[in-house]
Amino acid sequence: MLTNVIWALSDFTANNGATRVVIGSHKLDDDYEPDENEFVQAQMLSGSVMIYLGSTFHGAGRNVTSSPRTGLIIGYSLGWLLQEENQYLAVPPHVAKDLPVGLQELIGYAVHPPFLGWVNMKDPR
């Protein structure tokens, strides 16, 4: 899961292209294509913040002003974190293979889609 945070470093307005989102789209199928009228603009004053899941349909609006819209975006993904203790060494593959699947995933024997955790382009299990 990916959580995004956008800090408005300048005002985000309809005219300068405030970020557009489809509310609730994180619950839709991956192949869903929203209509233009489903998007709403996240208008906010400088210093405001918007938090949304990475699976939410989103994107910049069109800036029709002569001034830039400035923001700071940071994505937080649990899949990018490492354990304090290296579980691949503490629980080697010959031991991990007999653990319940949930425990295997908890100690790192899993793929975090689309591209983290694989071995030779495959799930480590």
Which structural domain, as residue segments, surrounds residue 20?
Answer: 2-78
pLDDT at 120 over 90: no
**Do 105 and 117 touch, CB atoms closer than 8 A?**
no
Question: What is the mean pLDDT of the segment spanning 56-67?
Answer: 94
My answer on whether 88 and 110 are in the same domain is yes
Domain count, the chain: 2
pLDDT at 75: 84
Check whether residue 30 and residue 72 sit in a common domain: yes
| Co-location of 12 and 52 in the same domain | yes
Cα separation, 112 vs 125, whole angstroms: 13
Instruction: Please give the distance of CA 110 from its chain centroid, rounded to a whole number.
Output: 18
* Distance of alpha carbon 10 from alpha carbon 47, whole angstroms: 7
pLDDT computed for residue 100 by the predictor: 95
* Exposed e or buried b per residue across 92-107, where buried means at least 16 C-beta atoms within 10 angstroms of its C-beta: eeeebeeeeeeebbeb
> What distances in angstroms separate CA 37 from CA 16, 23, 54, 79, 84, one per listed residue?
19, 12, 20, 33, 46
